[in-house]
Structure 1
Amino acid sequence: MALRDTPSACPALWRCLPCPPAELRLDLVLTSGQAFRWRESSPGAWTGVLGGRVWTLRQDRDRLWYTLYGEEEEDGRPVEAAKPDGAETDRILRDYFQLDVGLPALYRAWGAADPLFRKVADDFPGVRVLRQDPVECLLSFICTSNNHISRITAMIERLCQAFGRRLCCLDAQPFHAFPSLSALAGADAEARLRALGFGYRARFVSGSARAIAEGLGADGLRQLRAVPYAEARRVLCALPGVGTKVADCVCLMALDKAEAVPVDTHVWRIAQQRYGTALGGKSLTPRAHQEIGDFFRGLWGPRAGWAQAVLFCADLRKGQEPAGSRGRAKGARGRDSRGDGPP
């Protein structure tokens, strides 16, 4: 089935939400190393998997347009694009992009507190933090150790193809749901992941999936949204392959801890070179991570993780390769020091 990337192609199958660019820029948010399952399927249109469904998103002036695709029929033929079911799909997108958080007011507050933020912000509006499924977010970020966005994206795609339920095929591109915990906790999961090129991360992905399945469970992991930041981070750091940086990524992007500041080599360099701090010394230890996070929380306030996401996106874009390399920036969020109808 061909992608229908514009509402004008089949308007009954598209819905829209009010959403000006100052509140959301898809091209920035979906390529900034927060999530790895979106691709630009045509200029300005982004297709990916969210909540076990395949979506295409598009922006036009002050509106965010979206459509969904049905699952394949038993004979393998894809069903046509499905008419969105209104209030529920709106709710899913609003939740995913946290659209109830007013971004322009936050930008003004951060800029008033920080001239360096103000200097960057005008060129990078609409950068907001996603609210992701905690299991998917955690297992994805385990794959980011010593890695970069293009490679992480390819790894997550192989993971989903090998272990996830097939949803549909669009323009010869198959889409799969993110795997269940049980699928990744199986006895042969680690060996299969190694065969897929996960290397040492295979043990951590399968081990954390098993630990969650046998302990907290997916619901328990999600319930960490209701506990204090320090407690959530402590629980996460007890999982195989989860250090402070990965835990903070999950706290920020899946567990509602807006104060979490993931510190990797990018953020460490920003703190030292742009803010003139001596934080972190010569190596990025857990203590240095805490000191840098505390510095930015003191500067930007209770949503420091959101402000940091803006600077991270700006730094990432500055380091990207020339045209044609979108999403291929080295050392993305994943670089861990140890690791009305659009036209």
Structure 2
Amino acid sequence: MLFCRSPAPMKLRDAPSACPSLWRWLPCPPAELRLDLVLSSGQSFRWWESSPGAWTGVLGGRVWTLRQDGDRLWYTVYGEEEEHEEEEERDGCPAKAAKLNAAETDRILRDYFQLDVGLSALYHTWGAADPLFRKVANDFPGVRVLRQDPVECLFSFICTSNNHISRITAMIERLCQAFGRRLCCLDSRPFHAFPSLSALTGAEAEAQLRALGFGYRAKFVSGSARAIAEGLGAEGLCQLRSAPYAEARRVLCALPGVGAKVADCVCLLSLDKAEAVPVDTHVWQIARQRYGVALGGKSLTPRAYQEIGDFFRELWGPRAGWAQAVSTPPFLKPLPPTPSHAHPIISPFQVLFCADLRKGQKPTGSQHQA
């Protein structure tokens, strides 16, 4: 999301009561999904709080607005504009709101939020196994893992190295504007689809990305796009959902700019590998200080990475990656400094999302720098 210092005023378009014929809803209690916790956590970088409680973003090549009211998840979908056509409104309602098949839009949302997975039961199981989980779970209900498009997820997380969420969000926005298909314009803000592989494999793609402020990540984005296009393809990447976790991780780690942590983020957030536990130095410290996991060495070695992941998989079970999303979210207080650790630990979804999540930080003029 794009962080603002004060909430935007409510827009008529974002209220189901203003345009009831353009909105649908799914039954979904807050214990099963909290939009505010999930869409601001850094799992995806395409959502924006367009007005208080309303989230607008791009999903499946369409622009959506979502909001929650009690046990209902409301949504509306906007249609694509004609080339260079500006949005028109009548009585505050978008004239181009899409009239899509209701069963299909319901299916897309249920799949994206994995609503067929009963989260409340999982919270109970994790809490019974882990007292530390139990301490934080009541404060953070409804934190679930998204099921994203593998291409979008992969290239988004290639951009997360040594980065923070507001800057990543701005980078992904520029990427989509430069290489993606324009979808529509809301409140003078254009929305674009995520680029296709072919759009990122052009001869000038790396130079364009550098000009957009991607720095060293530019060669990883263009290089991985070429490697996938010339190898397994977008369809093959998606088919990794049916491959064993170890195989999917191995394939991803062979791509430029993809290490174990990014590979695990992609496995968890787009390839149905719920057991994937992304690990960074913050998770390593959490494992040592909060869980007493004794691992030797002064750095996060590949062996330590594997042992930490195995520890949490043993503790939380086959959906360990989901449990980690709750137990180490960006909302928890940092760990205090210790004699062996000179700086306070930031305890974010960094566990999952490989980014320094600084809630409330705006993109600045330095965002175009490498």
TM-score (norm 1): 0.92
Deviation at 1:317, TM superposition (A): 4.9
Give aligned pairs, total: 326
Where do 5+ consecutive residues of structure 1 fail to align? 320-328, 338-343
Question: Residue 71 of structure 1 corresponds to which residue in structure 2?
Answer: 80
* Residue 160, structure 1, aligned to residue 172, structure 2: no
Q: Of the candidates 98, 106, 131, which is equivalent to residue 90 of structure 1?
A: 106
Q: 1:209 aligns with which of 225, 249, 256?
A: 225
Deviations for 1:251-302, whole angstroms, at most 9, x for unmatched residues? 0000000000011233222211111112363211222111100000000000
**Following the alignment from structure 1 to structure 2, what is the Cα–Cα distance between the partners of residues 43 and 231?**
42
Distance, in Å, in 1 between the alignment partners of 2:25 and 2:213 is 39
Q: Deviations over 1:231-269 (max 9, x none)?
A: 000000000000000000000000000000011233222
Q: Give the one of 313, 332, 335 matched to 2:354.
A: 335
- Match of residue 18, structure 1, among 11, 21, 27: 27
- Verify the 8 A CA contact 1:271 1:279 in the aligned structure 2: no
Alignment partner of 2:39 out of 30, 42, 53 = 30
Partner in structure 2 of residue 119 of structure 1: 135
CA contact (8 A) 1:168 1:175 kept: yes
Instruction: Give the aligned partner of residue 182 of structure 1.
Output: 198
In 2, the alpha carbon distance for the partners of 1:172 and 1:86 equals 27
Partner of 1:318: 333
- Matching of residue 197 in structure 1 with residue 206 in structure 2: no
Aligned to 1:326: none
The answer to whether residue 63 in structure 2 is matched with residue 54 in structure 1 is yes
Residues 249-264 of structure 1: pairs in structure 2 closer than 5 A: 249-264=265-280
Aligned to 1:227: 243
1:287 maps to which of 296, 303, 316: 303
Q: Residue 205 of structure 1: SS of its match in structure 2?
A: helix
Q: Name which of 107, 116, 119 aligns with 1:103.
A: 119
Q: Is the 8 A contact 2:123 2:137 kept in 1?
A: yes
In structure 2, C-alpha distance between the alignment counterparts of 1:148 and 1:4, rounded to whole Å: 30
Letter in 2 for 1:31: S
Amino acid corresponding to residue 179 of structure 2 in structure 1: F
* Residue identity matched to 1:187: A
Find the counterpart in structure 2 of residue 44 from structure 1.
53
User: Given the two structures, how large is their TM-score scaled by the length of structure 2?
Assistant: 0.85
Question: Counterparts of 2:331 and 2:70 in 1: how far apart (Å)?
Answer: 25
Report the secondary structure of 1:98's partner residue.
coil
What is the Cα deviation at residue 332 of structure 1?
7.6
Q: Is the 2:152–2:194 contact (alpha carbons within 8 Å) kept by the matching residues of 1?
A: yes
Partner Cα separation in structure 1 for residue 187 and residue 175 of structure 2: 20
- Which whole-Å CA distance do the structure 2 matches of 1:227 and 1:291 have between them? 22
Matches of 2:19 and 2:282, distance apart in 1: 43
Q: Return the offset for 1:128.
A: 0.3
Which residue matches 1:7? 16
Are residue 135 (structure 1) and residue 151 (structure 2) matched?
Answer: yes
Contact 2:279 2:352 in 1 (8 A): no
Q: Letter of the aligned partner of 2:21 in structure 1? A: A
Provide the C-alpha distance between the structure 2 equivalents of 1:168 and 1:265, rounded to a whole number of angstroms.
Answer: 40
Tell me the C-alpha RMSD between the 2 structures. Answer: 1.7
Task: Determine if contact 2:153/2:266 at 8 Å carries over to the other structure.
Answer: yes
**CA-to-aligned-CA distance 1:73-99 (integer Å, 9 cap, x gap):** 235223522234210000000000000
What is the deviation of 1:3? 6.2
Structure number with greater CO (CA < 8 Å, separation at least 6) is: 1
Contact persistence 1:142–1:205 (CA under 8 A): yes
Indicate conservation of the 8 Å contact 1:166/1:175, yes or no: yes
Residue 80 of structure 1 corresponds to: 96
1:47 and 1:54 in contact (8 A); partners too: yes
1:186 alignment partner AA: G
Alpha-carbon distance in structure 2 between the residues aligned to 1:190 and 1:331: 27
Q: Distance in 1 between matches of 2:21 and 2:186?
A: 19
Residue type of the partner of 2:242? A
Residue deviations 1:188-239 (CA, integer Å, cap 9, x gap):
0000000111000000001001110110100000000001000000000000
Alignment partner of 1:81: what SS?
coil
Change (3 A) 1:84 1:65: farther
Residue 240 to residue 316, structure 1, CA distance change in 2 (3 Å): farther
Residues 233/330 of structure 1: CA separation in 2 closer, same or farther (3 Å cut): closer
